């Protein structure tokens, strides 16, 4: 994945994708796999915003039984299976325990019936998934004592047991986006971070490209394409506002979703859903409100999700200490014995996602969420050459990309050339058994770094050898600080994945800072390696370190665009 931004103005592309989050990356992969020439730009880094700062769930769809929405149920199950099939290093099943109470709507019998219906509706969920540890088992029920043995903080009054079913989890969302982008690059796509789309270029009633600015050099140029795909998420409608015929009416509404990582392990293998005070206004079969989740992740626990209707500019998302304390209190009430406090939070994940009905926008306890991603063909407003996609959740990004490309091919007047994104493994996914892959990597690491083998297997999969080849000095196979990241990963991030800043490396290319502050030693070690690759002097290196420390010590990258520090001397 080489930096080819200078080529963006030299040719006309079939597809120009604006936005390199999960939806833009999946569209680039689908388009490239269908044989189109593709360019992808993003004004920040790849996966810079919500795509790397969400709850890491892959929804399997069982909750849509409450809505009697079988279409969404089947869609979610299909997309969960597809992600596990094509990215087995980054996606896997996650068992979730739902405590049951009494014999009514929250009882074991109703949940058992729901899981039976779900299993029947998703009988194909393991198609093409050979690794037994990546297959999704049928749902089951467990008894009261087993629940309390696993989760002693579960409210006991009326507890009868629990239902256990399987959603999915992403090990590292930013790496998943990079895997899609690297797959697109392998088919000829040009991808560029830190290139902003300033405005669309319109000729008569057709969009023919965009005016862009290189955020590294300041150079301005035009990128031309047969079709522009506006996949900029919550920034997407801002790009359209300048042209009254393109601006969506009404503008889409967004929720600021929030979850956080805490440095406690509640249970190593299972998540638990805890009843919250928030109602689900879309639910037809109401079990008494939405759930908060405690989910194991890298030896820590993910806590969330909270939703709040937001009118904030996506460049200025903020979270107050008062809000965090409110959420901590709610979680401590929902699950006893945690005694979570502010000092336990190591990372806050937040971002804008598409909201649903405006009826509940002012409510703190009632929420209506977007049921489908928003795909707009602007030809309906008399303007050709552009479509807009605003995704509802990361789970469905691959499928939404297919629908987007089907629309574009129809607009090109071409027969739909379906790609194989549902079955073709993406970058790093070409291996048979994950445990065998970990063992293989472990044999190639020094004794003091063998504990990093599983992390390397997750983040790079079958491409791990390219990382180890960056260790020209054997010491680069040692970990940086007290982490699971080896020095060679830092070099790999710069040489092969277009990392431009220390924040790119720490927060998105490696897992060094994606779950919290890894400590000054690890950050300085990574900065020292990066400075040699990127030609930073001592002053620039210190600036990069301070910037990353600021992000991590405030709990996460809440102001996404402002992450890019001064770069006059930071690029080669």
Report if residue 118 sits inside a domain: no
CATH number at residue 271: 3.30.9.10
**pLDDT (0 to 100) of residue 365:** 43
Report if residue 94 sits inside a domain: no
pTM listed for this prediction: 0.93
Strand, helix or coil for residue 303: strand
**pLDDT (0 to 100) of residue 556:** 77
Helices 397-411 & 70-86, crossing angle to 10 degrees? 100
Report if residue 126 sits inside a domain: no
Report if residue 105 sits inside a domain: no
Assess whether 484 and 531 both reside in one domain. Answer: yes
Number of H helices, E strands in the chain: 15, 19
Assess whether 376 and 232 both reside in one domain. Answer: yes
CATH number at residue 32: 3.50.50.60
**pLDDT (0 to 100) of residue 235:** 92
**pLDDT (0 to 100) of residue 568:** 36
Tell me how crowded residue 450 is: count the other CB atoms within 10 A of its CB.
13
Report if residue 104 sits inside a domain: no
Assess whether 198 and 238 both reside in one domain. Answer: yes
State how many domains the chain has. Answer: 3
Assess whether 194 and 247 both reside in one domain. Answer: yes
Assess whether 404 and 504 both reside in one domain. Answer: no
Assess whether 196 and 287 both reside in one domain. Answer: no
Query: Contact 18/1 with Cβ under 8 angstroms?
Result: no
Report if residue 418 sits inside a domain: no
Report if residue 160 sits inside a domain: no
Assess whether 239 and 376 both reside in one domain. Answer: yes
Assess whether 228 and 260 both reside in one domain. Answer: no
CATH number at residue 467: 1.10.8.870
Tell me how crowded residue 362 is: count the other CB atoms within 10 A of its CB.
8
Distances from the Cα of 325 to the Cαs of 274, 289, 330, 488, in angstroms?
18, 21, 9, 39
Assess whether 467 and 553 both reside in one domain. Answer: yes
Assess whether 554 and 515 both reside in one domain. Answer: yes
Rg (CA), the chain: 23
CA 505 to chain centre: 16
What range does the domain containing 187 cover? 5-50+174-252+372-411
Assess whether 294 and 199 both reside in one domain. Answer: no
Query: Contact 186/179 with Cβ under 8 angstroms?
Result: no
Phi first, then psi: give them for residue 499, nearest 5 degrees: -70, 130
Whose structure tokens read 């406090």?
341
Block means of pLDDT (10 residues each) for the chain, length 572 residues?
A: 94 97 98 97 95 93 88 95 98 96 89 94 94 94 96 94 96 98 98 97 96 96 98 91 86 90 93 75 54 94 92 87 92 91 93 68 46 88 95 94 97 88 97 96 97 98 98 94 97 98 97 94 97 97 96 74 40 28
Assess whether 492 and 542 both reside in one domain. Answer: yes
Report if residue 321 sits inside a domain: yes
User: Which domain-ending residue is among 322, 354, 386?
Assistant: 354
Helices 453-460 & 434-442, crossing angle to 10 degrees? 120
């Amino acid at each position: 994945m080489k930096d080819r931004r200078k080529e963006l103005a030299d040719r006309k592309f079939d597809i120009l994708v604006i936005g390199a989050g999960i939806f833009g990356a999946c569209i680039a992969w689908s388009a490239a796999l269908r044989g189109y020439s593709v360019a992808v730009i993003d004004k920040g880094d790849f996966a810079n915003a919500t795509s790397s700062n969400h709850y890491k769930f892959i929804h399997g769809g069982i909750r849509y039984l409450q809505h009697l929405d079988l279409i969404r149920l089947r869609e979610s199950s299909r997309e969960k299976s597809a992600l596990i099939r094509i990215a087995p290093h980054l996606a896997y099943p996650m068992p979730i325990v739902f405590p049951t109470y009494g014999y009514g709507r929250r009882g074991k019998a109703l949940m058992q019936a729901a899981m039976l219906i779900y299993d029947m509706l998703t009988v194909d969920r393991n198609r093409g998934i050979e690794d037994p540890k990546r297959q999704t088992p049928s749902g089951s029920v467990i008894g009261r004592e087993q629940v309390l043995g696993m989760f002693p903080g579960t409210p006991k009054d009326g507890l009868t047991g629990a239902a256990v079913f399987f959603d999915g989890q992403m090990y590292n969302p930013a790496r998943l986006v990079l895997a899609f982008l690297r797959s697109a690059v392998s088919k000829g796509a040009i991808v560029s971070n830190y290139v902003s789309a300033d405005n669309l270029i319109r000729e008569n009633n057709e969009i023919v490209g965009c005016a862009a600015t290189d955020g590294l050099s300041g150079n301005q140029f035009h990128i031309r394409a047969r079709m522009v795909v506006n996949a900029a998420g919550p920034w997407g409608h801002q790009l359209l506002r300048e042209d009254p015929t393109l601006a969506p009416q009404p503008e889409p509404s967004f929720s600021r979703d929030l979850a956080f990582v805490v440095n406690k392990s509640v249970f190593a293998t299972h998540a638990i859903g805890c009843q919250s005070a928030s109602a689900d206004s879309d639910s037809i079969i109401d079990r008494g409100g939405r759930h908060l989740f405690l989910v194991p992740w890298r030896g820590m626990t993910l806590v969330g999700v909270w939703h709040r209707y937001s009118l904030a500019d996506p460049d200025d998302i903020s979270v107050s200490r008062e809000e965090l304390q409110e959420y901590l209190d709610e979680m401590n009430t929902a699950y006893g014995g945690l005694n979570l406090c502010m000092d336990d939070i190591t990372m806050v994940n937040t971002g804008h996602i598409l909201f649903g009905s405006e009826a509940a926008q002012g409510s703190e306890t009632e929420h209506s969420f977007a049921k489908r991603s928003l795909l707009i063909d602007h030809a309906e407003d008399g303007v050709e050459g552009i479509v807009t996609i605003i995704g509802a959740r990361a789970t469905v990004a691959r499928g939404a990309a297919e629908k987007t490309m089907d629309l574009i091919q129809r607009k090109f007047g071409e027969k739909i050339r379906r790609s194989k994104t549902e079955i073709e493994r993406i970058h790093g996914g070409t291996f048979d058994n994950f445990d065998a892959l970990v063992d293989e990597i472990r044999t190639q690491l020094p004794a003091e770094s063998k504990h990093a083998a599983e992390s390397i297997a997750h983040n790079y999969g079958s491409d791990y050898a390219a990382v180890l080849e960056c260790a020209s000095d054997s010491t680069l196979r040692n970990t940086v600080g007290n982490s699971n990241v080896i020095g060679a990963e830092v070099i790999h991030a710069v040489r092969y994945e277009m990392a431009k800043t220390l924040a790119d490396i720490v927060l998105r290319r490696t897992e060094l800072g994606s779950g919290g502050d890894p400590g000054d030693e690890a950050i300085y070690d990574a900065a020292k390696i990066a400075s040699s690759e990127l030609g930073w002097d001592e002053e620039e290196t210190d600036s990069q370190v301070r910037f990353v420390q600021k992000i991590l010590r405030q709990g996460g990258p809440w102001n996404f665009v402002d992450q890019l520090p001064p770069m006059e001397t930071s690029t080669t």
